[in-house]
Amino acid sequence: MRAWIVSDIHHTRIDALLGNNLSVPEAEVCICAGDITNSVVDSISYVRRFIEPHMPVVLTLGNHDYYGASIDFALERARRLGEGTHIQLLENQTAIINDCRFVGATLWTDFAVSVGDDEHLSPEERRSLALSVVPANIADFFEIYRSDERPRNENGMITAKEILSRHRSSRAYIDQELGVPFSGRTVVLTHHAPHMKSLDPRFFGQVTSAAFVSDLSDLIERRRPDVWVHGHVHRFRDYMASKTRVICNPHGYGGERGISGFRPGFVIDL
């Protein structure tokens, strides 16, 4: 099965006015790792208008797709908008197309990855440092509403506690699903990255990188999915982690286009 891999389209209203849409290559399925727009309604609309007419789509939402909503609300809205289409939205879910299994989730992060100059610290120390910096410096905490109950002393925006909880749930789900025998090929699809090799070298040593990547190298080595597709890091990636091929093909923001390494016709055989 020929699969077109794409992420981080970051389509804007200006792009829409100018008719700047991606060229869709020939393939049998699109694997889309999220961050299509800054609104889940616009994101599903984009996929329905420009990709789904050409091929089925396996999709997980990115952090930007949740902007202006809570995660729970955005997921419910996206599923309703995708009803009756050939779009498979995965959030701690699995889909089988032909002889290929897709295991998907946004994933988020555990805020504990080594960002390049802190390997001497324990994961708990790295997480503590990240949580003291990330919420004030990452837009998610100002753009996504919380899905859990709001205490009196907190505002209505998403918290690091909710993100960490969702990461742990997704990580456990992926681990469990990969432990189920399957005779065909297995692809894991997440928005956030699962391995340190995906870190953007431009941000070496920056604590905010902990909001982009988690170290799931142990899970990858134990479960050995055939392919892991992610987004979020705006740099093309195609490498081996143990026996797993890890791929990221991000379009990127307007100012990054041409430097992200995006390959418009990046199609692989599954």
Confidence (pLDDT) at 17: 79
The CA distance from 232 to 235, in Å, is: 9
150 falls in which pLDDT band (50, 70, 90)?
confident
Please tell me the least confidently modeled range out of 118-127, 184-193, 223-232.
118-127
Confidence (pLDDT) at 153: 82
Task: Indicate the Cα dihedral angle 19, 23, 24, 30, nearest 10°.
Answer: -80
Over residues 75-86, mean pLDDT:
97
Cα–Cα–Cα angle for 176, 32, 18, rounded to 5 degrees: 160
Q: Give 16-33 pLDDT, tens digit per residue.
A: 877 788 999 999 999 999
Asked if the model's pLDDT at residue 242 lies above 80, the reply is yes
Mean pLDDT of the chain: 95
Which residue would you say has higher pLDDT here, 128 or 18? 128
Q: Which amino acid is at 67?
A: Y
Confidence (pLDDT) at 254: 82
The region that residue 131 occupies, defined by phi over 0 for left and psi between -120 and 50 for alpha, beta otherwise, is alpha
The overall pTM is greater than 0.85: yes
Please tell me the least confidently modeled range out of 64-73, 112-121, 230-239, 240-249.
112-121
Asked if the model's pLDDT at residue 233 lies above 80, the reply is yes
For the chain, which domains are there? Answer: 2-269 (3.60.21)
Q: Is the Cβ–Cβ distance between 211 and 140 less than 8 Å?
A: yes
Confidence (pLDDT) at 256: 79
Q: Is the Cβ–Cβ distance between 251 and 11 less than 8 Å?
A: no
Confidence (pLDDT) at 240: 98
Question: In this structure, are strands 185-190 and 244-248 parallel, antiparallel, or unpaired?
Answer: unpaired
Confidence (pLDDT) at 175: 98
In the block, which residue shows the tokens 């070298």? 201
Would the CA dihedral through 179, 180, 181, 187 be positive or negative? negative
- Output the six-digit token pair for 32: 């889309």
Q: Is 176 helix (H, G, I), strand (E, B) or coil?
A: helix
Q: Is the Cβ–Cβ distance between 223 and 208 less than 8 Å?
A: no
Share of the chain above pLDDT 70, in %: 100
The region that residue 244 occupies, defined by phi over 0 for left and psi between -120 and 50 for alpha, beta otherwise, is beta
Q: Is 57 helix (H, G, I), strand (E, B) or coil?
A: strand
Provide the b/e sequence for 164-182 (b: ≥16 CB within 10 Å). bebbeebbebbeebbeeee
Confidence (pLDDT) at 10: 96
Over residues 238-246, mean pLDDT:
98
Confidence (pLDDT) at 109: 98
Q: How many CB atoms lie within 10 A of CB 53?
A: 11
Confidence (pLDDT) at 15: 84
φ and ψ at residue 139, rounded to 5 degrees? -60, -25
Confidence (pLDDT) at 42: 97
Q: Is 80 helix (H, G, I), strand (E, B) or coil?
A: helix
77 falls in which pLDDT band (50, 70, 90)?
very high
